[in-house]
């Protein structure tokens, strides 16, 4: 085996130029594949994490009618019970109880339909990282009476800055229309511009006064410690509180779920294309090698080298060639990912708004799991072995008597 | 007892529209220790005969026995193993493995026979010394002259302690000095170690050294001469 390994390794370097070109082709092909995959995964992961962290959380609880009617009269009456159960559960990272009202926001020149979220400021810091999302102003601090947080899209559209006054109009629990003046405390920005145009946040107590009802909870958002526990915990909650509609992030945001699955498929297609090209490149190279070395292979068969050994030799040569190229490609790929992961790649020159409209950050942090590299290595090895079977088979089919005389 | 025996050997090539009879009822016996030259014009069937006797090709009809063992009916894998243990080959174009050194080329055959490293090293060095290549153990074929490569090929052919060596035009690509040198080595091996040699050749220098000359014409033996040298 040792000599077979030696022969195979040396054979790889017989035609240095061709081997180096092929190794570079594999290397740069994999590098491109790894980096494109990391970029795409980074983009999707960011979008996913940001959606979970800033928008939907892992689980939300609503009154079933609230989902249909969006009426704040459909409340979660067992909110306190749920809240204390969540407080004592180790799976829960944070949770927030919200009052949700549909209404109109207006200033001197514009009017816009909005969803008004009455929140507990401390809870939302932890649940949707609202404070971290602020790009202007502060987190309900500078304004003492009726502070409000707006998304940047809405603020830009209505030309509103922190400190400006706006009017919120909505229906109270008695069905009467009520209006109140709020002052902009801060402007937030998430990766989803549609969200930023639609949602405004006020303090729950301020909203309660205007709604004419305290302790009105229409939505409970739950952030878990582990994403994987979502479905099990949702089922557990649903069992405990069957009268409410309890939905996981995948149910709340099917597009997010689709995106997650679609990305996996896209990455698989991308890698398959690269491996497909690799297989044909390899097939071509190895067939040329067999053609050029017909006489030598004929001699090996003539002097008594078994077909299994000849077959193994061709497989080994292919494997060496591919491993060398793959190691090179994976190293530069992993290095590129590592170098760009921290700082990220700023794609805002290509249109930050466009990215934001689709819920993506313009600065992408490429990322890849170690499992990806392992899977890639296995796939490359399988591809190379499959691609080398035909050339190896051709070598076996040589007639030694004719092969040794081939010019 | 004959090392090689053929019975009514026939070979017909059907690769063209008109079948070509390369061997026609060849009956031949070669005894241990003989130095035989198979001669004849191009297309007379010399190479075909060597290929069939060496188990590299199958006859269309007839039988080949090596030490009374019929080889033309053997399955491929068994035949490869048989060649490895019983037959040494020397080719016209040397055909050494270019990525191996002279010593590795010789050891290679023993490695296929699963010999120990110690034995491989010892015998490879001994054989290379015997063919005058003691100072070229670690040299690769591309750094050796044609004559030197052919001497390594002879050492390789001897490595497996074969029953006989088949040499197909081994001097055809060599200059006169190298050819004489090679023939001296092979004649000595034949004389001193009783190695059975079968050459196919056009080369008068080989014919002069051989103790038996079989002439083939149109695939049939036309003359079989013995010489005492």
Measured between CB atoms, which of B80, B99, B107 is closest to A301? B80
In angstroms, the CA A86 to CA A93 distance is 9
Half-sphere exposure at residue A227, Cβ-oriented, CA atoms within 13 angstroms: 11
In angstroms, the CA A233 to CA A93 distance is 13
State whether B104 and A3 contact (CB < 8 Å). yes
pLDDT (0 to 100) of residue A356: 65
Query: Distance (Å) from the C-alpha of residue B227 to the closest C-alpha of chain A?
Result: 30
pLDDT (0 to 100) of residue B92: 84
In angstroms, the CA A398 to CA B209 distance is 35
Residue A162's pLDDT band, with cuts at 50, 70 and 90, is: very high
**Considering only CB atoms, which chain A residues are within 8 Å of B76?**
307
Per-residue pLDDT, averaged over B143-152, amounts to 92
Task: Find, in chain A, the residue whose alpha carbon is nearest to that of B88.
Answer: A303
User: What does pLDDT average to over chain A?
Assistant: 89
Among A401, A402, A405, A406, the strongest candidate for a mutation testing the B interface, having the largest count of B CBs within 10 A, is A401
**Angle at the Cα of A333 from the Cα atoms of A328 and A337, rounded to 5 degrees:** 150
User: Is residue B151 situated within a structural domain?
Assistant: yes
pLDDT digits (tens, 9 = 90+) for B151-188: 999 899 988 888 899 999 888 888 888 888 888 888 88
User: Is residue B64 situated within a structural domain?
Assistant: no
In angstroms, the CA B38 to CA B50 distance is 9
pLDDT (0 to 100) of residue B229: 59
Q: What is the CATH number of the domain that holds B103?
A: 3.40.50.300
pLDDT digits (tens, 9 = 90+) for B197-217: 999 988 888 888 899 999 999
pLDDT (0 to 100) of residue A404: 83
pLDDT (0 to 100) of residue A358: 67
pLDDT digits (tens, 9 = 90+) for A103-161: 999 998 889 999 999 999 999 988 888 888 899 999 998 888 899 999 999 999 989 99
- Looking at the structure of chain B, the number of domains it has is 1
pLDDT at B16 over 70: no
pLDDT (0 to 100) of residue A137: 94
State whether A7 and B109 contact (CB < 8 Å). no
Window from A152-161, A237-246, A257-266 with minimum mean pLDDT: A257-266
Best CA proximity match to A107, nearest among A55, A156, A147, A159: A159
Measured between CB atoms, which of B51, B76, B112 is closest to A305? B112
State whether A295 and B95 contact (CB < 8 Å). yes
pLDDT digits (tens, 9 = 90+) for B67-98: 989 998 999 889 999 999 999 999 888 889 88
pLDDT digits (tens, 9 = 90+) for A352-403: 667 766 667 778 899 888 888 888 888 888 888 888 889 988 888 888 888 8
Per-residue pLDDT, averaged over A175-186, amounts to 93
Per-residue pLDDT, averaged over A64-73, amounts to 89
pTM of this prediction? 0.71
The two three-digit tokens of residue A359, written as one number: 């819920």
Taking only residues 54 to 73 of chain B, the set having a beta carbon closer than 8 angstroms to any beta carbon of chain A reads 54, 56-57
CA distances for B156 relative to A46, B85, B159, angstroms:
65, 13, 5
State whether A14 and B76 contact (CB < 8 Å). no
Query: Distance (Å) from the C-alpha of residue B228 to the closest C-alpha of chain A?
Result: 32
Coil, strand, or helix at residue A118?
strand
pLDDT at A277 over 90: no
Task: Find, in chain B, the residue whose alpha carbon is nearest to that of A11.
Answer: B99
User: Is residue B19 situated within a structural domain?
Assistant: no
Per-residue pLDDT, averaged over A260-276, amounts to 84
State the residue range of the domain holding B196.
34-59+69-226
Residue A166's pLDDT band, with cuts at 50, 70 and 90, is: very high
User: Is residue B12 situated within a structural domain?
Assistant: no
Strands of B212-217's sheet, edge to edge?
A: B87-90, B164-168, B196-200, B35-39, B212-217, B220-226
User: What does pLDDT average to over chain B?
Assistant: 89
Query: Sign (positive/negative) of CA torsion A67, A68, A71, A76?
Result: negative
pLDDT at A407 over 90: no
Residue A256's pLDDT band, with cuts at 50, 70 and 90, is: confident
Residue A40's pLDDT band, with cuts at 50, 70 and 90, is: confident
Please tell me what DSSP assigns to residue B116: -
Helices B146-159 and B117-130 pack at an angle, to 10 degrees, of 130
User: Is residue B143 situated within a structural domain?
Assistant: yes
Note the ipTM here.
0.86
Among A3, A13, A302, A396, the strongest candidate for a mutation testing the B interface, having the largest count of B CBs within 10 A, is A302
User: Is residue B11 situated within a structural domain?
Assistant: no
User: Is residue B161 situated within a structural domain?
Assistant: yes
Query: Distance (Å) from the C-alpha of residue A367 to the closest C-alpha of chain B?
Result: 43
Burial A152-170 (b: 16+ CB within 10 A, else e): bbbbeebebebebebebbb
Best CA proximity match to A323, nearest among A271, A384, A273: A384
**8 A C-beta contact, residue B60 and residue B12:** yes
Higher pLDDT, A405 or B38: B38
Measured between CB atoms, which of B56, B99, B160 is closest to A10? B99
Alpha helices by DSSP H, A133-181: 152-157
Give chain B's count of helices (H) and strands (E).
7, 10
In angstroms, the CA A75 to CA A77 distance is 6
Taking only residues 22 to 61 of chain B, the set having a beta carbon closer than 8 angstroms to any beta carbon of chain A reads 47, 51, 54, 56-57
Residue-level length of chain A: 407
pLDDT at A7 over 90: no
Any chain A CB within 8 A of the CB of B98? Answer: yes
State whether A306 and B112 contact (CB < 8 Å). yes
Task: Find, in chain B, the residue whose alpha carbon is nearest to that of A300.
Answer: B97
**Considering only CB atoms, which chain B residues are within 8 Å of A7?**
97, 99-100
The two three-digit tokens of residue B228, written as one number: 């005492």
**8 A C-beta contact, residue B49 and residue B123:** no
What is the number of other CB atoms lying within 10 angstroms of the CB of residue A257?
15
pLDDT (0 to 100) of residue B131: 87
pLDDT at A164 over 90: yes
Q: What are phi and psi of A147, to 5 degrees?
A: -75, 155
**Considering only CB atoms, which chain B residues are within 8 Å of A11?**
99
User: Is residue B25 situated within a structural domain?
Assistant: no
Please tell me what DSSP assigns to residue A301: H
pLDDT (0 to 100) of residue B64: 94
Query: Distance (Å) from the C-alpha of residue A257 to the closest C-alpha of chain B?
Result: 56
**Angle at the Cα of A396 from the Cα atoms of A392 and A399, rounded to 5 degrees:** 140
Q: What are phi and psi of B47, to 5 degrees?
A: -65, -40
pLDDT at B57 over 80: yes
Direct distance between the N- and C-terminal alpha carbons of chain B, in angstroms, rounded to an integer: 22
């Amino acid at each position: 085996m040792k000599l077979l390994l030696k022969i195979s390794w040396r054979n790889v370097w017989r035609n240095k130029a061709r081997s180096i070109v092929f190794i570079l082709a594999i290397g740069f092909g994999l590098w491109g594949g790894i980096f494109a995959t990391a970029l795409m995964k980074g983009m999707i992961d960011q979008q996913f994490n940001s959606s979970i962290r800033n928008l939907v959380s892992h689980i939300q609880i609503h009154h079933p009618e609230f989902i249909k009617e969006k009426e704040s009269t459909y409340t979660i009456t067992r909110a306190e019970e749920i809240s204390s159960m969540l407080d004592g559960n180790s799976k829960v990272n944070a949770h927030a109880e919200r009052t949700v009202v549909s209404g109109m926001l207006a200033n001197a020149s514009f009017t816009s339909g909005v969803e008004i979220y009455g929140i507990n400021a401390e809870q939302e810091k932890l649940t949707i990282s609202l404070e971290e999302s602020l790009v202007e102003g502060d987190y309900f601090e500078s304004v003492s009476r009726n502070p409000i947080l707006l998304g940047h899209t809405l603020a830009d559209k209505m030309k509103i800055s922190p400190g400006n006054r706006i009017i919120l109009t909505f229906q109270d629990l008695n069905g009467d229309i009520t209006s109140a003046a709020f002052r902009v405390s801060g402007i937030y920005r998430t990766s989803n511009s549609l969200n930023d145009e639609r949602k405004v946040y006020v303090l729950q107590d301020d909203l309660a006064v205007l709604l004419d009802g305290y302790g009105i909870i229409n939505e409970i958002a739950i952030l878990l410690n582990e994403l994987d526990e979502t479905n099990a915990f949702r089922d557990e909650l649903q069992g405990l509180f069957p009268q409410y509609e309890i939905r996981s992030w995948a149910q709340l945001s099917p597009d997010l779920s689709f995106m997650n699955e679609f990305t996996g498929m896209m990455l698989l297609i991308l890698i398959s294309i690269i491996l497909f090209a690799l297989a044909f490149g390899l097939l071509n190279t190895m067939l040329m090698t067999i053609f050029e070395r017909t006489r030598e292979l004929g001699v090996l068969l003539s002097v008594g080298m078994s077909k299994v050994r000849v077959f193994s030799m061709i497989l080994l040569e292919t494997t060496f060639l591919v491993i060398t190229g793959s190691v090179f490609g994976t190293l530069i790929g992993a290095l590129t990912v590592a170098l760009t992961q921290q700082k990220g790649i700023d794609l805002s020159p290509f249109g930050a708004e466009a990215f934001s409209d689709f819920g993506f950050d313009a600065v992408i942090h490429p990322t890849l799991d170690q499992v990806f590299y392992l899977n890639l290595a296995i796939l490359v090895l399988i591809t190379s072995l499959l691609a080398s079977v035909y050339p190896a088979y051709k070598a076996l089919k040589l007639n030694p008597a004719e092969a040794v005389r081939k010019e | 007892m004959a090392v090689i025996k053929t019975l009514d050997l026939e070979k017909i090539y059907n690769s063209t529209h008109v079948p070509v009879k390369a061997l026609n009822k060849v009956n031949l016996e070669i005894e241990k220790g003989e130095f035989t030259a198979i001669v004849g014009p191009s297309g007379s069937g010399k190479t075909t005969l060597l290929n069939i006797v060496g188990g590299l090709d199958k006859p269309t009809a007839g039988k080949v026995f090596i030490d009374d063992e019929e080889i033309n009916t053997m399955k491929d894998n068994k035949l490869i193993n048989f060649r490895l243990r019983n037959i040494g080959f020397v080719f016209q174009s040397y055909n050494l493995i270019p990525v191996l050194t002279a010593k590795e080329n010789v050891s290679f055959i023993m490695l296929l026979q699963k010999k120990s490293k110690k034995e491989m090293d010892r015998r490879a060095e001994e054989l290379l010394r015997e063919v005058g290549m003691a100072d070229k153990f670690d040299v690769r074929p591309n750094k050796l002259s044609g004559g030197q490569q052919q001497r390594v090929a002879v050492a390789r052919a001897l490595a497996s302690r074969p029953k006989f060596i088949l040499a197909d035009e081994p001097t055809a690509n060599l200059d006169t000095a190298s050819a004489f040198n090679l023939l001296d080595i092979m004649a000595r091996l034949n004389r001193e170690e009783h190695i059975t040699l079968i050459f196919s050749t056009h080369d008068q220098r080989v014919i002069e050294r051989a103790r038996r000359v079989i002439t083939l014409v149109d695939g049939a033996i036309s003359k079989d001469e013995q010489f005492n040298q």
